[in-house]
Amino acid sequence: MEAWDVLVVGAGPAGSTVAHRLASAGHRVLVVEEHPKVGYPVQCAGLVSQRALDLAGAPGVVRTPVRGATVFGPSQGSVHFKAPDPRAFVIDRGALDVALADRAARAGAEFRTATQFQGRGASADGRSVVRLRGADRTEVEVAARLVVGADGVTSAVARAFRLRRPVEILPAFESEIPRSPGDPETVEVYLGRSIAPGLFGWWIPDGSGGARVGVAVDADGTPARIYYDRLVRYLERRFRTPLARPTALLVSGIPIGSVPRTHGPGVLLVGDAAAQVKPLSGGGIFTGMRCGEIAADVADAALRAGDLSAARLAEYDRRWRSEFGEEFRRALYLRRLFQRLDDPDLDRLIDALQGSELTATIVAFGDIDFPTHVARRLLRESPSLVRLLPKALGAWVVPGAYRAPELDFGRK
């Protein structure tokens, strides 16, 4: 049986980041990816921060900088933000995944595509034995001292290692439109229960004259496609032109909430598999890569010490939660507040922002990786926003109305 130091399952941004760092440290790393080609099909809108680009070290994946954003309320009122410098970047997401995998392969990691993690066998000699199914549908067993589950929102590794308790998974639906009638440097966000209950719809210029348009919504049983169709009708009315036929459609899910433990004996979870996703936006590229770096550093030390026990690997949970736990906890709290607001409340929110100095605060302090910083500032500065709060806070005073926010997140 093949024996590896580390088996990474999933060649997304999180998995390839872990693989790069561990292979660079001299460990024997195998990465398996179920799709025939790394990075494809693309399942993402591809909007990232400068921090994410810095971590990836792949400036060539940028398609266009974003300097502005317009947020539309349910009654079509809007508020516009324009920054003097780029605040985000639209990337070629498939190319990012390829660049990260290439970097890991150059460091010595071996990649096998069209190879799916199937499950766990019995451990042997202190290594986990896992079953992999290759392109020819034959199953092989390989042994690894450490298994890293970087296999996304439906993580089979988490299930096999009994790591995950359910988190909220927001259904998402997105399409790529080849010709955009919108502003090529402005991202648009759509709020409202009829279009995107629980999160938002988006219109993101793709840097090649087209756009990515999509929705992510609360999981109330209604397919996200229904909301997407409504958003398209809304956009066609707004742009006064039919949208071009999509060149690609994607159906996926965004994990929101805390997974209580992202390590176990001989196993770590990273990225979407560990719900390392920003709860207010669903973005997970930056957080997944950064947590991938932390996972690799903890794993490197554990492999060298020959100790892959849960107690040793718990350091990973402690470290990534000390970096992101507070932000995620606050964001989950704000998300619960947001979910309590109905369409008239959202219109009032847009009204409160329109033409006010608060937009300058957002432009000055807005940070797509740490959005709660500016949210706290806005709540401090604006009485009209605070007036919306009593209703939102009802989430916690109406017994049983909502699950309590996971405020112990990260306090381990």
Ligand X SMILES: Cc1cc2nc3c(=O)[nH]c(=O)nc-3n(C[C@H](O)[C@H](O)[C@H](O)COP(=O)(O)OP(=O)(O)OC[C@H]3O[C@@H](n4cnc5c(N)ncnc54)[C@H](O)[C@@H]3O)c2cc1C
**Residue from 19, 98, 254, 275 binding ligand X (CB under 6 A):** 254
Listed ranges 43-51, 53-61, 103-111, 180-188: which one lies at the site for ligand X (CB under 6 A): 43-51
**Residue from 94, 152, 197, 266 binding ligand X (CB under 6 A):** 152
Q: Considering beta carbons, is residue 10 or 366 the nearer one to ligand X?
A: 10
Listed ranges 42-50, 79-87, 105-113, 375-383: which one lies at the site for ligand X (CB under 6 A): 42-50
Among positions 15-34, residues that touch ligand X (CB under 6 A) are 15, 32-34
CA distance 258 to 329: 9
Interaction pattern, residues 275-294, with ligand X; x per rule: CB under 6 A: --x----xxxxx-x------
Smallest distance, Å, CB 393 to ligand X? Answer: 29
CA distance 188 to 234: 13
Among positions 69-128, residues that touch ligand X (CB under 6 A) are 116-117
Residue type, 88: A
Q: Considering beta carbons, is residue 216 or 385 the nearer one to ligand X?
A: 216
From the list 230, 214, 217, the residue with the least C-alpha distance to 47 is 214
The CA–CA distances, whole Å, from 20 to 29, 37, 264 equal 9, 18, 22
If you write DSSP's letter for every residue of 8-58 in order, what string do you get?
EE--SHHHHHHHHHHHHTT--EEEE-SSSSTT-S--S--EE-HHHHHHHT-
**Residue from 92, 272, 300, 347 binding ligand X (CB under 6 A):** 272
**R_g of the chain, CA atoms, integer Å:** 22
**Residue from 174, 188, 293, 347 binding ligand X (CB under 6 A):** 174
The reply to whether 182 sits near ligand X by the rule CB under 6 A is no
CA distance 44 to 62: 14
Q: Which two tokens stand for residue 20?
A: 């790069």
Q: Considering beta carbons, is residue 9 or 302 the nearer one to ligand X?
A: 9
CB 146 within 8 A of CB 5: yes
The CA–CA distances, whole Å, from 163 to 125, 145, 153, 300, 325 equal 22, 17, 13, 21, 18
Smallest distance, Å, CB 172 to ligand X? Answer: 4
Site size toward ligand X (CB under 6 A) is: 38
The CA–CA distances, whole Å, from 181 to 235, 237, 364 equal 10, 12, 28
From the list 302, 269, 301, 303, the residue with the least C-alpha distance to 288 is 269
Smallest distance, Å, CB 46 to ligand X? Answer: 5
Q: Considering beta carbons, is residue 294 or 395 the nearer one to ligand X?
A: 294
**Residue from 9, 56, 144, 299 binding ligand X (CB under 6 A):** 9
Q: Considering beta carbons, is residue 207 or 283 the nearer one to ligand X?
A: 283
Q: Considering beta carbons, is residue 49 or 382 the nearer one to ligand X?
A: 49
Listed ranges 71-79, 144-152, 323-331, 333-341: which one lies at the site for ligand X (CB under 6 A): 144-152
Q: Considering beta carbons, is residue 15 or 207 the nearer one to ligand X?
A: 15
Helix orientation angle between 371-381 and 358-365, rounded to the nearest 10 degrees: 160
Residue type, 139: E
From the list 62, 58, 67, the residue with the least C-alpha distance to 46 is 62
Smallest distance, Å, CB 410 to ligand X? Answer: 19
Q: Considering beta carbons, is residue 119 or 126 the nearer one to ligand X?
A: 119
Smallest distance, Å, CB 42 to ligand X? Answer: 9
Q: Beta strands 68-72 and 186-190: pairing type?
A: parallel
Q: Considering beta carbons, is residue 210 or 284 the nearer one to ligand X?
A: 284
CA distance 20 to 289: 11
CA distance 356 to 201: 24
Q: Considering beta carbons, is residue 248 or 393 the nearer one to ligand X?
A: 248
CB 323 within 8 A of CB 287: no
The reply to whether 62 sits near ligand X by the rule CB under 6 A is no
Q: Beta strands 263-264 and 267-269: pairing type?
A: antiparallel
**Residue from 6, 10, 72, 192 binding ligand X (CB under 6 A):** 10
CB 32 within 8 A of CB 117: yes
**Residue from 99, 147, 156, 362 binding ligand X (CB under 6 A):** 156
The reply to whether 149 sits near ligand X by the rule CB under 6 A is no
Among positions 333-352, residues that touch ligand X (CB under 6 A) are none
The reply to whether 147 sits near ligand X by the rule CB under 6 A is no
Which residues lie near ligand X (CB under 6 A)?
9-15, 32-35, 43-48, 116-117, 150-152, 156, 172, 174, 214, 252, 254, 271-273, 277, 282-286, 288
